[in-house]
Amino acid sequence: MGSGSTTTPGDGSRIAGVSGTGGVGKGTVIAALRDRLEGWTVSVSATTRRPREGERDGVSYHFVTDAEFDRMIAEDELLEWARFGGNRYGTPWRSVREPLAAGRPILLELEINGALAVQKEFPQALLIFLHPPDLGTLVARMQGRGADDERRVAERMALAEWELAQASAFDHRVVNDDIDAAADAIARILAAGAG
Interacting residue ranges for ligand 5GP, rule: CB under 6 A = 22, 26-27, 45, 49, 80, 82, 84, 89-91, 109-111, 114
Q: Is 121 left (phi over 0), alpha (psi -120 to 50) or beta?
A: alpha
Residue nearer to ligand 5GP on the CB measure, 36 or 84: 84
Q: CB of residue 50 vs ligand 5GP: minimum separation in angstroms?
A: 10
What are φ and ψ of residue 168, in 5° steps? Answer: -70, -15
Question: Would you say 116 and 168 are in contact if contact means Cβ atoms under 8 Å apart?
Answer: no
Q: CB of residue 92 vs ligand 5GP: minimum separation in angstroms?
A: 8
Residue nearer to ligand 5GP on the CB measure, 27 or 103: 27
Q: CB of residue 4 vs ligand 5GP: minimum separation in angstroms?
A: 28
The span from the CA of 43 to the CA of 122, in Å, is 16
User: By C-alpha distance, which of 172, 192, 191 is closest to 38?
Assistant: 191
Q: CB of residue 6 vs ligand 5GP: minimum separation in angstroms?
A: 27
